[in-house]
Structure formats: C-alpha cells, structure tokens
Structure 1
Amino acid sequence: MTDLARSPAAFATTDLSDAYPEAQILAPVFSDYGGSPRFSGPAVTLRVLENNPLVRSTLEMPGLGRVLVVDGGGSLNCALLGGMLAQFGVQNGWAGIIIFGCVRDSAELRALPIGIRALAVHPRRSGKAAEGESGGAVTFAGVTIQPGDQIYADQDGILVLPGQ
C-alpha cells in the first residue's frame, strides 16, 4: 500500500482510484447524511434486515477509527440508524457508518462529527428483534466487503481496498 492510502486525512477517492485500479468502488447510490464528508478506516460488517439491535450493540463498542458497514438488504421500509445510535458511534470513536438501507433524524445526523452514507431517509424506526449476522462478507452496490477491508469515503464516492 502506498503512502497515498496510508494517510487517511489527506486521501481523495479520485487519487486512490487512479493509484489502485484494482480498488472496488461502490455504485453511486448513497447519499451523505453525516457531519464528516470524508472518512476512512477498516470495515466492520453486519447483515441485518429491518431490525437494528445489532447495529446499536456494535456502535456501543469501541470503534477505534473503524467504519461500520451495514448490509440492510437495500430495504426502504424503515431506518436502521438514527440520531441516538449515531451519537453512540461518535462517543465510541467510529470513523463512519455505511448503511445499505435507510437512516432517520437527518438533521441530527448532519450535526454529528461522523461520516454517514445511506440510500435514503425514512421516518419509521426499525424493528427490535435481535436478528442478523456480524463479521461476514457483505455484498451490495456491486462490491463485496470483507471485515478489515479498508474503506475510503469522500464527496466523490466510496472506495474499498483489501485489508492487510
């Protein structure tokens, strides 16, 4: 990995894309909802469908500058993340959150110093069943993300490099 990819504060996904033609780039289907438009870190993966207790319990753990990547099945039926859970992410040191699904409390999210990408907003909260999977590969937006893969997100897109 070059210095370009090792310096998270200075990266640009356009430069990384040029330097790493093998990089995976998520399809441009995500909108920016967080207060930090640029974020990066190793991926922590979850797979949930319309229930968010696993999202909450993960964000309550130390983030250590990682990025939570949630495969919500692309559901547009409810939000998997809102202001309270995003605040846990900020308090516990998560760099960012990517949700293949919806968020809510968008004004609160925008005020928080964390990167958040999602498909859309939805006012309905998720279910509270403790269902889902943690730590496996997730595939959405044309990309497969493994736990530990390096995520880079900025105003130009979301790029994934293999973990070390």
Structure 2
Amino acid sequence: MKTILWATLTANGNYAQSSPTHPPKKEALDDFAAQAKAAGNFIVGRRTFEGMQASGGGAFADIDIVVVSTSTKELPGITVAGSPQEALNYLQQKGHQTALIVGGADLHNAFLGHGLVDELMFNVAPVIEGKGLNLLIDKDDYQYKDVQLLDFKSLGSGVIQLHYAVGH
C-alpha cells in the first residue's frame, strides 16, 4: 500500500497553524478534499480530527476515516486505530491501494519515525509563523533521508504544492 503524508507548511517550514483569525488557505483545503476523494480515505490524529469536526469538516460521507489514538477507543461512525500500522492494516483490509496521512504533527512524526511514508505532499502557504511544529524523522537521533521531487505546482493564491518520493 502506498502511503502519502499530506501537510500544509508555512514559507519558513513550520506546520501552518490555523485559527479563526488565520484560517487555512482555501486552495489547500480544496486539495485535501481532492486527495482524500482520490484515495478514498484519510488517517488523522484525534486532536486534529476533533478540530476538523469543530470547524464543520464533515463533508466526507463516502471516505474511510481512521483516527489514530491511544487514549480514545471509540468515536461514533469512525474507525479508531491504536497505532499507525494498525490504521494501515485496516485500510489495506478494506481494499485501499493508497493511504492519505493528514495530521497532525505527532501522527506525521509517528509514521515517519516508523518508516511508513512513501510520498510527501507539502502545500507551502504564503505565510511566516514565528511559532510552530516541525516534522521530525527521529526525535532522539539525527537522521537524514533523501527525497526525490516528483512534481510541483501552484494551487493558486500563492500556495505551492511540492510532491516528493521518500527514499527508504
């Protein structure tokens, strides 16, 4: 199964932190919806999922959503997995060829740390934030991974998408 890590970053490399005063760029949200529809699924962390629900992000009726959480065991109508591998196993059993990993930072870092990411899809928003979260391959040890640029394109309004293959 191919796994794609999808994220929106700021121009200075941090995760883009959205808020009511600084909402996500429409172009990035539209791309997320298109990627989720193409994959037929997405994997998300509990806190990010709760944030999506609070902001009215419930337009995914025909998409398998898997929430990875070690603290929450049940969410009505949503599959909960205890680990990244368990989430991938579930989607593979459902017949999916691709898994879309959408957030948040802890979930992304867990997938990266376990070598479970095949591709990276970064939407770089035209903003700079002084505080933010970063992607980490391994929090305890310096690691270096080569990536290969597969594609890049403008999504509009200054949002650029970079698509990489991850060297394993």
The structure whose Rg is larger is 2
TM-score, normalised by the number of residues in structure 1: 0.26
TM-score, normalised by the number of residues in structure 2: 0.25
